[in-house]
Amino acid sequence: MNYPKIKKAVFPVAGFGTRFLPVTKSQPKEMLPVVDKPVIQYLVEEAVQSGIEEIIIVTGRGKRAIEDYFDQSFELEHNLVEKGKTDLLREVLEIPNLAKFIYVRQSVPKGDGDAIMQAFNIVKDEPFAVLFGDDLVVHEVPAIKQLMQVYEQTGSSVVALTEVLDTELSSYGVVNVKDFKSANLEITDLVEKPKTRAEAPSNLGVIGKYIITPEVLAVLNDLYKKPIISGELRLADALKLAVNSGVPVYGKLIEGERFDTGSKLGLIKATIDFAMRRQDLAPELKEFLKRYV
Ligand code: G1P
């Protein structure tokens, strides 16, 4: 079957970034650097390398730096031309041309599901990708592309999965699947942030990357129209409801190394790993790290 191609990606980035305070007091957590690029640029590149053409960023107050970053910067470009710094100039010029960027605002941070609903009129009835601002995956096949490959076979929504330690399950949405041995894992239940190991149906946790079909968006839209009792509308609520009402949703155990840049340790690990892949930094960094090990 030929299912519609996925050309749009929604980035809900309006959260406060409380885990990184105080640095996130006046700067979006998505702009924190891994070596010399902000986390969000790696995610935009992941989407673009997967075939996405339009990036819809759902921002909020205090997130202007993201818009400025993906815009042109005439003074800087002029300065780099004058100084003859052509390599840096090329790099800077590439950023606004990575994709078509669209910005919508979420006035009150009422959850990632509410954020996605701010893009409802832009995605309309097309399937689309969702990338939360936290998870970097290093693999020759970008993580979103891995999800698209399952979508292309099933025509269904797909969530990214990773194996999670028992002690960390309570921070994740945890899935149950029809057949753990099957190549395409059909999800039968989703327990958001299980309080105990016994409540978790498996050790497979959802990481913040999704393909969302119009069927699941319709479920989210129904929830959006109702009063939100908890104060937040989460994508996980819609996915659980969809699965429980028979809408097919698949999981993909993501290949590659994953860094949770939403945690301090994860960001430090990503920084070291990415720096160690760079010839200009690796030799000296390796020497330096010997002090600690
Ligand atoms: C969200 C999702 C959760 C998922 C997690 C991955 O939670 O609701 O299912 O496991 O992202 O990062 P959050 O961490 O935003 O509270």
The average confidence (pLDDT) of the chain is 94
Quick one: pLDDT at residue 57? 97
Measured at the alpha carbon of residue 141, what is the angle toward residues 11 and 131, in degrees to the nearest 5? 10
Quick one: pLDDT at residue 15? 79
SS3 content of the chain, % helix, strand, coil (to 5): 40, 25, 35
Q: Can you list the positions of beta strands (E) in the chain?
A: 8-12, 33-34, 37-38, 54-59, 100-105, 128-131, 135-138, 157-163, 173-177, 185-192, 204-212, 249-253, 257-260
> 69 C-alpha to center of ligand 1: Å?
26
CB 207 near ligand 1, within 6 Å: yes
pLDDT digits (tens, 9 = 90+) for 21-38: 998 888 999 999 999 999
Report the pLDDT averaged over residues 177-191: 92
CB atoms within 10 A of CB 279: 6
All structural domains of the chain, each given as residue ranges with its CATH number in brackets, are 8-289 (3.90.550.10)
Q: Which of 168, 143, 157, 123 shows the shortest CA–CA distance to 236?
A: 157
pTM: 0.94
> 234 C-alpha to center of ligand 1: Å?
9
- Cβ atoms of 3 and 151 closer than 8 Å: yes
> 263 C-alpha to center of ligand 1: Å?
12
pLDDT score of 1 more than 80: no
Quick one: pLDDT at residue 228? 81
Please state the separation of Cα 189 from the chain's center in Å.
22
- Ligand 1 pocket mutation pick from 162, 206, 207, 254 by most atoms within 8 angstroms of CB: 206
> 203 C-alpha to center of ligand 1: Å?
15
pLDDT score of 250 more than 90: yes
Name the more confident of 14 and 268: 268
Quick one: pLDDT at residue 198? 93
pLDDT band at 133 (very low <50, low <70, confident <90, very high): confident
Atom of ligand 1 nearest to the CA of 190: 9
Atom of ligand 1 nearest to the CA of 192: 9
Mean pLDDT is lowest, of 43-52, 58-67, 135-144, 153-162, for: 58-67
- Tokens 């994709």 belong to 99
Report the pLDDT averaged over residues 180-197: 93
- Pick the residue whose CA is nearest to atom 10 on ligand 1: 172
> 56 C-alpha to center of ligand 1: Å?
19
Quick one: pLDDT at residue 175? 97
| Rounded percentage of the chain residues whose pLDDT exceeds 90 | 87
- Cβ atoms of 133 and 43 closer than 8 Å: yes
Task: Tell me if residue 26 falls in helix, strand or coil.
Answer: coil
- Pick the residue whose CA is nearest to atom 8 on ligand 1: 236
- Pick the residue whose CA is nearest to atom 11 on ligand 1: 208
Quick one: pLDDT at residue 14? 78
Q: Which of 101, 24, 117, 99 shows the shortest CA–CA distance to 63?
A: 24
d(Cα 137, Cα 94) in Å, to the nearest integer?
Answer: 22
